[in-house]
Amino acid sequence: MKTLFTKSCIIILFLSNIFILSCATKTEVSKKEDNTIRYEREREVYARHKSKVKSFSYYEYTYVDNKYDSLGIKLFEKFNTKGKLIESIFYQNDGTIMSIDRTDYDNTGEHMVFQERTLFQDGKTPLKKVTLKYDTLENLVELNTWEPMSISKSTFLYKDKNNLIKESVTEKGLPFFEINYHYNDKNKIINEESVYLKQPYLNMIFASSIYSYDEKLRLTDIHEYDFNMLLQSHLEILYNNFDSIISKTKYGKKKEVLESDKYKYDEKTRLIEKEELNKDSKNFKHNKTYYGFKGETIKTEVYGEKGEVLEYSIFKYDNNWNEIENITYNASNVPIKKTTISYEYFE
């Protein structure tokens, strides 16, 4: 699935992870980031395709009175014979369905043409529905969002096959805003502008972003501005000699560090460690992820604001490099929870 750089993001929190159906970040960031952490993102898909996984079930357990107490199934996913995900069902702790994601492909079973996500209030009553349509190049061309009190639609216009040049958003059938994207002669995005399309702010630019590149055409900076062209944030990206990202740092209005991601690699340029830091006091996060030689996650650590380890998780895999178990421990090495994954294979 191609990552778009629109501002429309459909996110659902599940357990301690974020599952993304379609999310917007900047194209160049996504491409470079994909090269940097491709092992983390692609290993599972590759492993399941290679081992012909038909479906898998994700279970969670808590550790109570020196034993694991099952919380039941949390996620069930199905794949086609090409290894492509066709259905995901997320479950609440009481076993009711939280959401269902479905993906349709063309006759080859390889290329996405349609996606649908439905969120449920009580396992039965739809609370929100999102549909996404793609062209033959798997570019997102239409996104529809339905909620009981609102309906919105986003359409996407491309140039030269893959370059998104405009996103138009309507609410209840009326124009709301649009985002225009501009490129340089090297086909790199250099500017995006968000424009209101409704009164009393008709045609007012309310946000803009400026992109900068180095001599290798690697994205190095993104400056984001408000409607007064006052700087709101600055994302700085640094690379090593192998064109892999070694750090991404986001600064605020006063040049203070808001977020920081750091990456480490082995002598074969394989990602071995990623550190994430968010200094927002209301949403503080400091995590580290360690990777094996196949790109598999082998350990994660969660830190407190004083730098102390709060908890860590250890991961296990089968012979196909499919994850089968991870156990989370507290700082005293006592288990907190466990997740297990079971697989069904095509014959």
Instruction: Report d(CA 313, CA 141) in Å as an integer.
Output: 39
List the structure tokens of 161: 């096959």
Residue-level pLDDT at 45: 53
Instruction: Report d(CA 127, CA 121) in Å as an integer.
Output: 5
- Pick the closest to residue 339 from 321, 330, 326, 323 (CA basis): 326
Residue-level pLDDT at 321: 86
Mean residue pLDDT across the chain: 86
Residues 37-64 have pLDDT tens digits of 334 444 455 555 556 899 999 999 999 9
Residue 234 has pLDDT above 50, yes or no: yes
Mean per-residue pLDDT, 191-214: 93
Helix axes 27-36, 38-50, angle to 10 degrees: 70
Residue-level pLDDT at 3: 34
Strands 219-226 and 205-213, how do they pair? antiparallel
List the structure tokens of 91: 């479950």
Residues 11-24 have pLDDT tens digits of 333 322 323 333 33
Instruction: Report d(CA 288, CA 302) in Å as an integer.
Output: 7
Mean per-residue pLDDT, 116-123: 92
Residue-level pLDDT at 295: 87
What percentage of the chain reaches a pLDDT higher than 70?
Answer: 85
Residues 294-337 have pLDDT tens digits of 889 999 999 998 999 999 999 999 988 899 999 999 999 999 99
Residue 1 has pLDDT above 90, yes or no: no
- Pick the closest to residue 129 from 151, 154, 97 (CA basis): 151
Residue-level pLDDT at 245: 97
- Domain chopping of the chain, boundaries: 10-345
Instruction: Report d(CA 10, CA 263) in Å as an integer.
Output: 26
Residue 35 has pLDDT above 70, yes or no: no
Helix (H) or strand (E) segment spanning residue 41: helix 38-50
Helices (H) then strands (E): counts for the chain: 2, 24
Residue-level pLDDT at 224: 97
- Pick the closest to residue 211 from 236, 242, 177, 239 (CA basis): 236
For the whole prediction, is pTM greater than 0.85?
Answer: no
Contacts for 16 with CB less than 8 Å, ≥ 6 apart: none
Instruction: Report d(CA 244, CA 195) in Å as an integer.
Output: 34
Residues shown for the chain: 347
Classified as helix, coil or strand, 209 is strand
Mean per-residue pLDDT, 165-190: 95
Residue-level pLDDT at 19: 31
Question: Which range (43-52, 114-123, 230-239) has the least confidence?
Answer: 43-52
